[in-house]
Amino acid sequence: MAEINRSLAFWKSFPIFEDFSSEMIDEIIGMVRLRHWPTGTVIFQRGDKGNYMILLTKGRIKVSLFTTHGKELSLRHFEPGALIGEMSVLDGEPRSADATATVASEGYVIGQYEFRAFMDSNRQAGRAVVNFLCRRLRETNQQLETIALYNLDARVARFLLASLRQVHGEHLPEEARLDLPLNQVEFGAILGASRPRINRAILSLEVVGAIKRKGTIIDCNVARLEKIADPDD
């Protein structure tokens, strides 16, 4: 059985735990179990009981919805460092979307009963989790704003900047590299656009020098992306 990572810095790198004390982190470590999901694994589906949440450490997990006609709406692609499935753990309601491992993935899982008991006995943890959920809601509002109010070039630029901030934090360097293993169909599903339109938008960003692509690696000129992301009216 793999050794559980006990580094305080590692656990605080998950946004939900960044305000936790070392004693609280020790309690969390005592709850977790390491899990592995091969490529293509449907980890949970909409309507399932939400009896655990995932702290992703390797791979990528897609969260999506399907219509009755089989059309998929991709809500988000989660990279290492993300928390997945926390809403059902906290409110006791069924899963609201499907989660699928798009590549071989692994992470720590925390059971609903253990985490809710921990929250009930620790007010500081409760406040930290509320702060985390508020940040998550703000991110969702920004995603909806991006899709509703901006042209596609701006939407792609905003998506790339948001992805960079997940790696570098709010203060981005002038030049930053992003490993983005998404195909254009997945990209389009996130941003609400067809594959050909996504392709044209990416080419447009390349022409103006905002990005350079090599496989899944994208070198970004942050200033140019920011200018495209917030175009003048």
d(CA 220, CA 164): 9
pLDDT band (50, 70, 90) for residue 75: confident
Whether the pLDDT of residue 1 is over 60: the answer is: no
- The arithmetic mean of pLDDT across residues 12-19, rounded, is 87
What is the pLDDT at residue 170?
Answer: 74
Whether the pLDDT of residue 66 is over 90: the answer is: no
Question: How confident is the model over 37-52, as pLDDT tens digits?
Answer: 999 999 999 999 999 9
Topology classification of domain 150-229: Jelly Rolls (2.60.120)
Contact 60, 183 (CB under 8 A): no
What is the pLDDT at residue 129?
Answer: 84
For the chain, what percent of residues have pLDDT higher than 90?
Answer: 39
**pTM tops 0.75:** no
Please name which of 148, 183, 169 lies closest in space to residue 77, comparing C-alpha atoms. 183
d(CA 220, CA 207): 13
Specify the range with the lowest mean pLDDT, choosing from 55-59, 159-163, 223-227.
159-163
Whether the pLDDT of residue 72 is over 80: the answer is: no
Topology classification of domain 8-143: Jelly Rolls (2.60.120)
Please name which of 178, 174, 169, 176 lies closest in space to residue 223, comparing C-alpha atoms. 174
Domain boundaries along the sequence of the chain: 8-143, 150-229
8-143 against 150-229: fold identical:
yes
d(CA 36, CA 53): 14
- The arithmetic mean of pLDDT across residues 102-115, rounded, is 94
What is the pLDDT at residue 149?
Answer: 67
Whether the pLDDT of residue 5 is over 70: the answer is: yes
Of the two residues 197 and 169, the one the predictor is more confident about is 197
What is the pLDDT at residue 222?
Answer: 93
Note the helical H segments in the chain.
8-12, 22-29, 86-91, 112-120, 123-149, 152-168, 184-191, 195-207, 222-229
Average pLDDT, the chain: 86
Whether the pLDDT of residue 17 is over 80: the answer is: yes
What is the pLDDT at residue 33?
Answer: 94
What is the pLDDT at residue 144?
Answer: 64
